[in-house]
Structure 1
Amino acid sequence: MKEGRILLKFIRRPECISYLLKKRFTNLSNNQFVRSALTMLSGTVIAQIIAMAFSPVISRIYGPEAFGVFGVFTSIVASVGPVAALTYPIAIVLPKEDSEANALFRLSLLVSLITFLLMALTITFYGNSILAILQVDVLMPYLMFIPLMVLFDGSFQASQQWMIRKKKFKFSAKAAILQGIVVNVTKAVIGFFFPLSISLVAITTLGKGLYASLLAYGTGITFNLKLFAESFNKKELLSFIRLGKKYYDFPIYRTPQVFINGASEGLPVIMLSIFFGPATAGFYSLSKKVLVMPTQLIEQSVGNVFYPRVTEAAYNGENITKLLIKASLSLAALGLIPFGIVILFGPQLFSIVFGANWASAGEYARWLSLWSYFKFITKPSIKTLPVLKAQRFHLVFTIFSILVRLCALIIGSYIFKSDVISVALYGTTGAIMYIILTLVTILKSTPKYTRYL
């Protein structure tokens, strides 16, 4: 009791509280993980602030229909782009030796180029038929931008993962800021003269190319025709085959999972465009874009730093479960306010910020915020799954998840014939699936399960 009274008296003194806070802040600032996360976060924050600052201008220039067509384009790219290199770039962080990581980097670029060539040939001969099957004829003028975007995306992923491996977070932050400035200023300026979908598509594609080039330069790896030609000699190809077999779980399990997950996120745009028209797809696209901003504001930076950290923890035999829970709870606290505000005041906020024509997007955003919030929290779990060698589970779970969300979307469209109900059902089921994924990943990270790895 005496010790308790002394402690209570101690903490009631303002100077004591100040001392404790200062000590805690000093400990955090000296933590390498925290410093790296803040460095990555600074670039993402500034890039997202730039995008948010230009969004009200760009939304008023182009309008819902232009955004709808652009949304369909980005939905298809979001499905194919992340698997351009068969997700081999994600493995770049894992090897202990840089020589093996460098080989994975070159393998990723080679696979991206092959994917680009195959897609370009397919679109040349069968593009019209594919669009007819998908019922997205509005993309006819923009078909050849898709393989180009995929090539840039694959190169970007490989360079980004190499930068993460080498902990070049400052350069990555600067590249994100520069790309954000160039793309958004260009969209606004070009939009005054050509407020068309083609402007959004072309600028976004070239912006991804700029981003990939900046990161490729930052890797410090020399690129020349001689080095590229060496990737096709027999010895090098055999080494690529051996490396591909070693990391077989990425193309076999992670690639389908990433593709399905990307398709599931783009599917609502395509379906809403088919059932309710391009303007409705535009409302959904803007609401999703606005919600992605606060999500990427932190999750991408923390996730990129958390991935090598949890990999290192696994090698050193540290408590992965504790690390995972702590990261998930931190993101839960950080995301509560921004997502909560959108849930409460979505339509009013969108009308004020983007104009009265975008009130429907705010209604969509209410339901998508619920889904996005739990997706935000799940980021550390998704980064932990490759370390736990649970990519097969991730693939199966993703397939099940997309089937559940697809059923919800179909029920809203066919039975209720309401775009708002469709989005509400889609968002709610998505939130539930992400909660389950987080809980299962935490369970799999416990020593009871990891000792069998």
Structure 2
Amino acid sequence: MKNNHLVRKISMLLSSTILGQIFIFATLPLVTRIYSSEEYGLLSVYSATLMFFSFCGTLNYDLAIPIEENKMKAHSLVKLSVILLLFSNFLLLILLFFVADPLLKLLNSESLINQYYLIPLGLTSLGLYSVYSQWRLRELDYKTIAKTKLVQSVSQNLFALAFGLVISSGASLILSKILSQSMGIRTLINKYKQDELVRIKKNETTIKEYKTILIRYKDFAFYTTPRRYLGDLTMAAPIFLIAYLYNPQIVGWFGLANSVTQVPGNIISSAVSQVFYAESAKLKNGNVSEIQQNSKKMLFLLISLGLILYLPLLLWGEEIFSFVFGEEWKSAGVYASLLFWALYARMIFKPISNIFEIFEKQFLALMLNVFRFLSIIAIYFIAIFLNLDPEGIILIYSITMALIYFLQFLLAQKILKMKIKSGDNAE
């Protein structure tokens, strides 16, 4: 019964995101025929730049919202996260006002210099959605999260098509992304404000209480933030690498291949991950064995779904992309096939990485991401030394990431076994 309960919650999140992504895939061929590969390359560089500046946010205190047992303290965590988010992005805006030119040139993102203000704007919308969705996860309100994700998915390409009919440019794609990210935030905030405790205790968090939770969850700031930041850099690094070594058209091809192929896996792994995180947070001080059982059931489910989703991509990626998106995007299909190993491994192994936060093993997770980032640096120098073509770089990157995701899974399982063993000894 518990397993069916878990599956129903995952299905609730999956159903809305799948509907949204069906709409995206149905309209994306129109988008790729309005916008060129160079314009899509600008969107890819913008997305990578957001990841580079992703340290400007909540310092990951929002991740503590679902696991804090005291609801009043969880409410204080929401307010603290919003304060940190707005303050850090305000500082980023000031920084970019003065040094956007040299800084973005250093990142090979010169095309964003005149739109530098879109960077903190995009980060703020992402951060606000994350904070208030964590509160809904705490309340196990998967239905509201599902609705907002559906709205986000549907709106992105609608905005892109609408703007494209007026003016086709990379800036139009960027604006569409920002607007779609912000969709659903109002719904989540309204739900948050409707909570009885929030209405009663709205302005009662003291400086002392803020200090207490800052110290209590300091590991999220000191370990989770650099870990997740290194993870974001790892995701962004291939875009920066390809932008540095090759022309904007190749960046656009890779950007489309990378973004489109991640969608199916992200839909499923994100839904599974959110449910697993929320449910495991409730079980961490009790039945750890059930967490382990859930993780294994998740793994078998994701292995099967991953093969259904990604095996056709491995076998016929070039043909699929040229047919769906147009002949101009044929090379993107080649890149998509090469990304299979990283995509498949990320989908099946990443959800269980929440174990590091649930049991507050952030330092171990940080070391893993340091290793992941150093691996990307090594790939960069190998590419230059061997004068590799884009296909060679992408294949090496894909296989390396797959092996690291597998290592991450093994470490998470080891943490669970140690927790179970320590619990048995305590008894």
TM-score normalised according to structure 2 size: 0.93
What is the alpha-carbon distance in structure 1 between the residues aligned to residue 182 and residue 267 of structure 2?
21
TM-superposed deviation, 1:372: 1.1
Note if 1:269 corresponds to 2:269.
no
Q: Pick from 173, 177, 181 the counterpart of residue 204 of structure 1.
A: 177
Who is 2:344 aligned against?
373
1:377-392 to structure 2, matched below 5 A, reads 377-392=348-363
2:37 matched residue in structure 1: 64
Aligned counterpart, 1:138: 111
2:12 to 26, 39, 56: 39
Asked whether 1:111 is paired with 2:81, we answer no
Q: Deviations over 1:284-313 (max 9, x none)?
A: 111111112111221111111110111222
Confirm or deny: 8 A CA contact 1:444 1:450 kept in the other structure: no
- Percent identity among equivalent residues? 24
Give 1:317 deviation, angstroms.
2.7
Q: Which amino acid aligns with 1:363?
A: V
Return the index of the structure with the highest Cα Rg.
1
State the 1:60 CA deviation: 1.3
Distance of 2:142 and 2:420 partners within structure 1: 33
1:135 partner SS: coil
CA 1:409/1:107 → structure 2, altered by over 3 Å: closer, same or farther? same
How does 1:219-258 map onto structure 2 within 5 Å?
219-221=192-194, 236-258=206-228
1:165 matched residue in structure 2: 138
Q: Give me the whole-angstrom Cα distance separating, in 1, the residues matched to 2:105 and 2:203.
A: 41
Q: 1:182 aligns with which of 155, 164, 172?
A: 155
Figure out how many residues of one structure are paired with residues of the other and give that number: 420
* Contact 2:288–2:420 (Cα < 8 Å) also in 1: no
CA deviation profile, 1:94-145 (whole Å, cap 9, x unmatched):
0112111111111110100111111011011111121122232111122100
Task: Provide the rounded CA distance (Å) in 2 between the counterparts of 1:333 and 1:264.
Answer: 26
Tell whether the 8 Å contact from 2:151 to 2:183 is kept in structure 1 after alignment. no
Say which SS state the counterpart of residue 59 (structure 2) adopts: coil
Rate the CA distance shift 1:190–1:124 in 2: closer, same or farther, 3 A: same
Q: How far 1:438 sits from its partner (Å)?
A: 0.7
CA offsets, 1:211-238, max 9 Å, x none? 322322232358xxx999958xxx7223
SS in 2 for 1:93: coil
Residues 219-268 of structure 1 deviation map (CA, whole Å, 9 limit, x = unaligned): 2358xxx999958xxx7223112101100110100000111111111111
Distance in 2 separating the partners of 1:350 and 1:64: 13
The residue aligned with 1:305 is 275
In the other structure, the counterpart of 1:22 is none
Give runs of aligned pairs for residues 306-325 of structure 1, distance below 5 A. Answer: 306-319=276-289, 320-325=291-296
Deviation for aligned residue 1:275: 1.0
- Aligned counterparts of 2:250 and 2:186: Cα–Cα separation in 1: 35
Q: 1:135 to 1:405 in 2, by over 3 A?
A: closer
The alpha carbon displacement at 1:42 in A equals: 1.0
Residue in 1 aligned with 2:252? 282
The 3 A distance-change label for structure 1 pair 248 and 179 is: same
Q: Does residue 151 of the first structure (1) align with residue 121 of the second (2)? A: no
Aligned to 1:412, which of 383, 408, 420? 383
How far apart, in 2, do the equivalents of 1:268 and 1:228 lie? Answer: 46
> In structure 2, do the counterparts of structure 1 residues 102 and 262 end up closer, same or farther at CA, with 3 Å as the change threshold?
same
The one-letter amino acid paired with 1:349 is I
Question: Matched residues in 2 for 1:196 and 1:145: separation?
Answer: 15
Q: In structure 1, what residue type is equivalent to 2:49? A: I
Aligned 1:75-114 pairs, distance under 5 A: 75-81=48-54, 84-114=57-87
The answer (yes or no) to whether the contact 1:388–1:450 under 8 Å persists in 2 is no
Alignment of 1:328-367 (within 5 A): 328-367=299-338
Q: Which amino acid aligns with 1:89?
A: D
Q: Give the superposed CA RMSD.
A: 2.2
Residue aligning to 1:125: 98
Separation of aligned partners in 1, 2:127 and 2:194: 16
The CA distance in 2 between the partners of 1:210 and 1:397, in whole Å, is 33
Q: CA deviation at 1:448?
A: 6.2
| Native 8 Å contact 1:321 1:442 kept in 2 | yes
Alpha-carbon separation, structure 2, partners of 1:418 and 1:186 = 35
2:363 counterpart of 1:401: no
- Within 1, Cα distance between the matches of 2:398 and 2:338? 5
Partner of 2:400: 429
How many Å apart are 1:57 and its aligned residue?
A: 0.9
8 Å CA contact 1:51–1:184 kept in 2: the answer is yes
Give the superposition deviation at 1:322. Answer: 2.5
Q: Which residue is 1:20 aligned to?
A: none
Task: Compute the displacement of 1:181 (Å).
Answer: 2.2
- TM-superposed CA distance for 1:381, in Å, is 1.9
Cα separation, partners in 2 of 1:145 and 1:204, compared to 1, 3 Å:
same
Q: Tell me which residue corresponds to 1:48.
A: 21
d(CA) in 2 for partners of 1:96, 1:448: 19
Check the 8 A contact 1:47/1:181 in 2, yes or no. Answer: yes
> Could you tell me how far apart the structure 2 residues matched to 1:42 and 1:79 are?
31
Structure 1 CA distance, aligned partners of 2:421 and 2:110? 49
Whether contact under 8 Å (2:44, 2:255) holds in the other structure is yes
